[in-house]
């Protein structure tokens, strides 16, 4: 289990993490989402002891990471696959981890086979690895101690579609065996496929969290009508917010039956009406983090 409680981290006058609280439960994959600069990486660095919080706490299996007697046996971590020693071979990287954790030597070959690095690749220096190979090596290093908890930041970077599918099955299997997985990724489709729970962060604060199914169901309704402006006004009159999602389409923050009754009362034809969860995680994510997204037009002007 992972427990983050009222976590806060400031750099001078900038607040990177602001009163963040969430839990990642055993037997479940928790997707940790947010735009660039939202505070995800800072939170994960604090969780694994690479940064200190200004306030609050972050615990793995009931303890601070720094207080775990042999951390690699309890929590496997991959925050940056490119941070491995470029002059060592893949086998050497895993051998150092194996010896440091007091594991049997055979564990190295088990991990190389598990992540699909061939003997030739394992004997190659990391500087000659592709990003996908470094990700596989990093996942092997995270798993070598057979930990209960996994903390992974963008582990799918550089993996081809087959590699992404392999990683998805690997993490799903770990959770199904009772492990805890905290997974950060910008690949929203992969998070949608694998995650049981979601934590969405923006501007350093949690903007939504809970079971994936419940969050997507709470996303409201998608409705199409030839007169979207009139329907938006009718919804607003009833205290229901809405936003345009395309030609003749609105997303309304209400259940479909409520939206349908309002449209009927206003005499408006409805071409389509469905729960917004059909639109998927991407739409929910963009709406929840709209205030923290960078506008490409602003960047171009700058």
Higher pLDDT, 112 or 276: 112
**How would CATH label the architecture of 2-210?**
3-Layer(aba) Sandwich (3.40)
pLDDT tops 50 at residue 301: no
pLDDT of 246 = 77
Mean pLDDT value of segment 240-269: 89
One CATH from 3.40.50.2000, 3.40.50.720, 3.30.950.10, 3.30.70.100 for 220-279: 3.30.70.100
Higher pLDDT, 65 or 295: 65
Mean pLDDT value of segment 294-300: 43
Q: Please name every residue paired with 22 in a beta bridge, in sequence order, or none if there are none.
A: 4
Share of the chain above pLDDT 90, in %: 70
Sheet holding 75-78, edge to edge: 75-78, 149-153, 180-184, 28-33, 197-202, 205-211
pLDDT of 299 = 38
Please determine whether the domains at 2-210 and 220-279 fall in the same fold group of CATH. Answer: no
pLDDT tops 60 at residue 33: yes
Find where tokens 């979207």 sit: 228
pLDDT of 214 = 77
pLDDT tens for residues 83-134? 889 999 999 999 999 999 999 999 999 999 999 999 999 999 999 999 999 9
pLDDT of 5 = 97
Higher pLDDT, 148 or 156: 148
Mean pLDDT value of segment 170-195: 91
Domain ranges of the chain: 2-210, 220-279
Mean pLDDT value of segment 178-182: 97
pLDDT of 276 = 72
CA atoms within 13 A on the CB side of 41: 9
Look at 212-216, 251-255, 290-294 and tell me which has the smallest mean pLDDT.
290-294
pLDDT of 279 = 54
pLDDT tops 70 at residue 196: yes
Contact partners, residue 184, CB within 8 Å, separation at least 6: 31, 32, 33, 40, 41, 44, 152, 153, 154
Instruction: Measure the CA–CA gap between 139 and 116, rounded to whole angstroms.
Output: 11
């Amino acid at each position: 289990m992972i427990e983050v409680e009222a976590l806060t981290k400031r750099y001078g006058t900038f607040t990177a993490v602001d009163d963040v609280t969430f839990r990642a439960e055993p037997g479940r994959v928790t997707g940790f989402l947010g735009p660039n600069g939202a505070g995800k990486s800072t939170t994960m660095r604090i969780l694994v002891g690479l940064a200190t919080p200004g306030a609050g706490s972050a615990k793995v299996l009931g303890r601070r990471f720094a207080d775990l007697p042999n951390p690699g046996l309890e929590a496997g971590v991959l925050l940056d696959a490119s941070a491995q020693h470029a002059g060592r071979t893949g086998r050497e990287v895993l051998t150092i981890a194996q010896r440091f954790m007091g594991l049997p030597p055979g564990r190295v070959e088990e991990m190389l086979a598990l992540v699909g690095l061939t003997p030739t690749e394992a004997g190659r220096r990391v500087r000659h690895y592709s990003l996908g190979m470094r990700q596989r090596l990093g996942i092997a290093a995270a798993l070598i101690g057979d930990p209960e908890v996994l903390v992974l930041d963008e582990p799918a970077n550089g993996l081809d579609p087959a590699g992404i599918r392999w990683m998805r099955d690997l993490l799903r299997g770990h959770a199904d065996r009772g492990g805890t997985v905290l997974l950060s990724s910008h690949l929203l489709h992969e998070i949608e496929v694998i995650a049981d729970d979601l934590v969405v962060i923006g501007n350093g604060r949690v903007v939504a969290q809970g079971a994936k199914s419940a969050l997507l169901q709470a996303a409201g309704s998608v409705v199409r009508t030839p007169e979207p402006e009139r329907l938006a006004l009718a919804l607003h009159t009833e205290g229901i917010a809405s936003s345009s999602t395309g030609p003749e389409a609105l997303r309304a923050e209400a259940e479909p039956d409520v939206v349908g009754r309002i449209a009927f009362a206003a005499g408006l034809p409805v071409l389509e009406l469905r729960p917004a969860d059909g639109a998927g995680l991407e739409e929910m994510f963009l709406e929840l983090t709209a205030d923290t997204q960078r506008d490409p037009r602003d960047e171009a002007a700058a």
